[in-house]
Chains A and B, each alone.
Chain A
Amino acid sequence: MIGRAGIPEPSAAAARRERRARRERALRLGLTYAVLVAVSAVAVFPILQIVNISLRPSDQFASTSLRLIPEGATLAAYRTILFEKDFPRWLLNSIIVSLATTIIGVALASTAGYAFSRLRFPLRRAGMMLFLVSQMFPATMLLLPLFIMMRRLALLDSFAGVIIAYVVTALPFCVWTMKGYYDTIPRDLEEAARVDGTSDLGAFWRVTLPLASPALAITGLFSFMTGWSEFMVARVVISSKKLFTLPLGLENLTSTFATEWANYAAGSFLVCVPVVVLFVVLSRFLVGGLTLGGVKG
């Protein structure tokens, strides 16, 4: 320790100060962990609830026990949902719808975002604004016209109908994310590639797009989640049971008797697992990859 005038301080005082600093650090660390543990517990709690309900035997549906694994836990609900209900079909339908939404959404957003970030063209700002303003439309404003429009185009009760609706739902956020991320990639790299004789498309495809992979992962994740979790549009567009997606199927379970709650919880848990795994795997991309670009710039 060097004192103000460059003279070493008496060592006793220095040691005391050192001890106090260490104690403060320990206290702060302890508080940090306490807060993180408490909030994490609240964040995780509903999932534990779902697991708990899904394992309850049918006579304990209204139990108020706080045990994580209920008494007489049984996997009967999982068996029922997987082998006696249409769950596998809903699962397949949801996978088809979500994957299609993801592929189309990523393709459209990665290109549109690039144009908004790199190119100058007429109506550029208006285009960015359209994406933002579309987020402000209340669901009710789109549902009814969408319904009528889809009936005219014979898209009702088809996967194509919901896929189009989901792409549009996810697109504005995805375009923003892509644009924001492209903005952080230096242009010099593309320019260097161009000077070396790469075409405009080649510069995008081989230089910029690979660098934007964190944003691509996020865009894909959000498109997939939109398709996986959406309920309101699906309810309006899809009516035949063989086209039910997971949300429709699960809702169908809740509208019957109370005995179905365990089945519903088991279904919910199975629905959560893939998205949560996907989210956790991609979560390292989320930090830093999620740069929402502004309209300007």
Chain B
Amino acid sequence: MALPVDPAAGRPARGAALGWRGRERLLALAFVGPAMLVMLGIVLYPFVYNVYLSLTDMGLYTFRNPSLQSPLWKNYAEVLGHRELYVVFFKTVAWTGVNVLFHVAIGLFLAVLLNQPIRGRTLFRVLLILPWAMPQYISALTWKGMFNYEWGVVNHLLQKAGLAAVPWSTDPFWAFLAPLITNIWLGFPFMMIIALGGLQSIPQVVYESASVDGAGPARRFFSITLPMLKPVLAPAVMLGTIWTFNNLNVIWLVSNGGEPSDRTHILVSYVYKAAFTYYRYGYAAAFSMILFLILFALVWMQTRVGRATEASW
């Protein structure tokens, strides 16, 4: 919708040669142009180049003179024909789903607690935001140290509580759980802050009138809080899904590059290993494309399924 008033109409001064529509276009070009140029150059060019790369046999020995594969889709066929892909895909979906679920649940819960008029809530907000404030690679490496079998503090606490030490780095299940716990810890403050902002925009009157009508706390939460938070949470959940799905740092650093024996990969770390440890550039490029398409489909489905997201789209 254009601005309803054309302020230049009755004013023959500056900008009168162009109408509001013309000025709007010009302003848009000047404002969006630079950002778009940077994005196109640094994102679109690599994307197109990656498509080309995915059709070649580029590797360590063919770095300077890669040739096109025959058939052209050979890399794609190899990726899709690999049974491992489906295992890793399943792990990635589990990784993303569990992470985002816990981020939203913990974040929302804490936001509701912090939204009460209690003493010291600024202090708690500051403390609870710390996992987000710390540089990711530092937290990841610190957690990796904390999960160390012999001298890590997690096992130490478990043993003090009378439980057995957990093989965090040698057993595939626990080795996958370690980065998962790390990432849940890392991600809840973002959702908490988003939810807190949303909660503060809900007028108190709505709750009061609901109480008068006899709605209990649970009813108020599900009938008022959640629906009114949806427009705020939906884009955050979408972004969170994308970031978690593609989170290379945490899984790579905590599991030490997929150990034990490449059993703790999600798709993005799997590709990273193929590209930068095994130097299979063409294959990795094809894998990246497939990864991108999977994520694109997931996000598309998420926006379709959640009717509520319509409001914010």
Task: Enumerate chain A interface residues (CB-CB to B < 8 A).
Answer: 29, 32-33, 35-36, 39-40, 42-44, 46-47, 49-50, 53, 62-64, 66, 108-109, 111-112, 114-116, 118-121, 124, 127, 130-131, 133-146, 148-149, 164-165, 167-168, 171-173, 175-176, 180, 187, 191, 194-195, 197, 199-201, 225, 228-229, 231-232, 247, 250-251, 254, 268, 271-272, 275-276, 279-280, 283, 286-297
Q: How far is the CA of A296 from the CA of B309 in the complex (A)?
A: 11
| Interchain residue pairs with CB less than 8 A apart (6) | A46-B143, A121-B28, A140-B284, A142-B42, A247-B135, A251-B137
Q: Which 8 A-B pairs have the closest CB atoms?
A: A145-B46, A229-B135, A279-B133, A194-B7, A294-B312, A112-B35, A115-B31, A121-B28
Chain B residues with Cβ under 8 A from A62's Cβ?
Answer: 150-151
Answer whether A276 and B134 are a contact pair too, CB < 8 Å, given A111-B34, A290-B194. Answer: yes
Nearest B residue to A118, CB-CB: B3
Task: Kindly state the separation between the CA atoms of A32 and B118 in the bound complex, as whole angstroms.
Answer: 9
Verify A138–B127 contact, CB threshold 8 A: no
**B contacts, CB < 8 Å to A:** 1-3, 5, 7-8, 11, 13-15, 23-25, 27-32, 34-36, 38-40, 42-47, 49-50, 53, 106, 109-110, 113-114, 116, 118, 124-139, 141-143, 145-146, 150-151, 153, 156-157, 185, 189, 193-194, 196-197, 200-201, 231-232, 234-236, 239, 242-243, 246, 248-249, 267-268, 271-272, 275-276, 281, 284-285, 287-289, 291-292, 295-296, 299, 309, 311-313
A140 in contact with B271 (CB, 8 Å): yes
- Whether A197 contacts B312 by the Cβ 8 Å rule is no
Partner among A63, A115, A140 whose Cβ is within 8 Å of the Cβ of B272: A140
Please tell me if the beta carbons of A275 and B124 are within 8 angstroms of each other in the complex.
no
Query: Which of A53, A145, A271 is most buried by chain B, counting CB atoms within 10 A of its CB?
Result: A145
Q: Across the two chains, which residue of chain B brings its CB closest to A188?
A: B5
A140–B53 alpha-carbon span in the complex (Å): 12
The complex places the Cα of A195 from the Cα of B30 at a distance, in Å, of: 23
Decide if the interface of chain B is mainly helix, strand, loop or mixed: helix
Give the distance in Å from the alpha carbon of A122 to the alpha carbon of B133 in the complex.
38
Contacts of A143 in B (CB 8 A): 275-276
With A43-B185, A120-B2, A137-B47 in contact, is A232–B27 under 8 Å at CB? no
